[in-house]
Structure 1
Amino acid sequence: MTTVTASPGVGNRTAVADPGLPAGHVNIADRVLQKTAERAAADIIGVDAKSVRVEIVAARDTAAVRVSTPFPVPRLDDTEAVRAATPVLEAATAAQSEIRSRLAHLFGREISRVDLTISGATLPQRKRVL
């Protein structure tokens, strides 16, 4: 039987694996969860992961996440892009919801809330075409 337990600051989630697996524990450090959340948020929002800051506050079976990040906006001299852009509040709300569901999937626990603070504006990342 294998027991999976999160590290001390993350709560006490325990799962038991199939009897055919070797016994043991898996501990995930808080730093790993933080970096995973930063990368996921950056990917969803469309900014560089280095500019995203995440704080995770965990309880027994849930976690609350605080994300601080610049937000991508179109170049203001590109009137066509400005007209086509989703309003920032609407885009931020959608990003909040997607961050919540992706982190719940990645962490295997409920994310009770995601607080998103927009710390500035940035031009969207350009995706490479291979």
Structure 2
Amino acid sequence: MTTVTAPLAAGSTTAAGLPAGRVNVADRVLQKTAERAAAEIIGVDAKNVHVEIVSARDTAVLRVTTPFPVPRLDDTAAVKAATPVLEAARAAQGELQTRLTRLFGREVSRVDLTISGASAPQRKRVL
């Protein structure tokens, strides 16, 4: 992925006072950034999140595949208090789109979220 600013003479700056030129950011860096942001927002381990980025000059589309956290089914109070998965997923999509637009410095026009499974909290063992 490449961000390009208008070419100016050497040592020149843009109207915003920034250096003129080109900044290249490897797609892998953006992918890892998106995976970590998605894991944090959704509440799962980053190693279980996979992100594909399809980008054009001024915009990007993300495909996020991840398990989604759900309460333990034997914890009836947590099940009753939980936000429905579809509602929580839509909120996560919006937050991810906003955060990555800010982090990437370019518009993230769409986030497609595929829920690949459920992630329940581990039962704690009593010794």
TM over 0.5: yes
Q: Is the 8 A contact 2:4 2:22 kept in 1?
A: no
Distance in 1 of aligned mates of 2:77 and 2:51 = 33
Q: 1:43 aligns with which of 26, 40, 43?
A: 40
Query: Partners of 2:119 and 2:27 in 1: how far apart?
Result: 28
Using the size of structure 2 for normalisation, the TM-score is: 0.82
Inter-partner Cα distance in structure 2 for 1:100 and 1:29: 20
The percent identity for this pair of structures is: 75
* Mapped pair 1:99 → 2:96: yes
* CA apart distance, 1:123: 1.8
Q: What CA RMSD, in Å, does the superposition of the two structures yield over aligned residues?
A: 2.2
Q: Which position in structure 2 is the counterpart of 1:27? A: 24
- Structure 1, unaligned runs of 5 or more: 1-9, 126-130
Deviations 1:48-94 (A, max 9, x none): 00000000000120000000000000000000000000000000000
Matched residues in 1 for 2:72 and 2:62: separation? Answer: 30
Q: Which moved more, 1:50-59 or 1:115-124?
A: 115-124
Structure number with greater Rg is 2
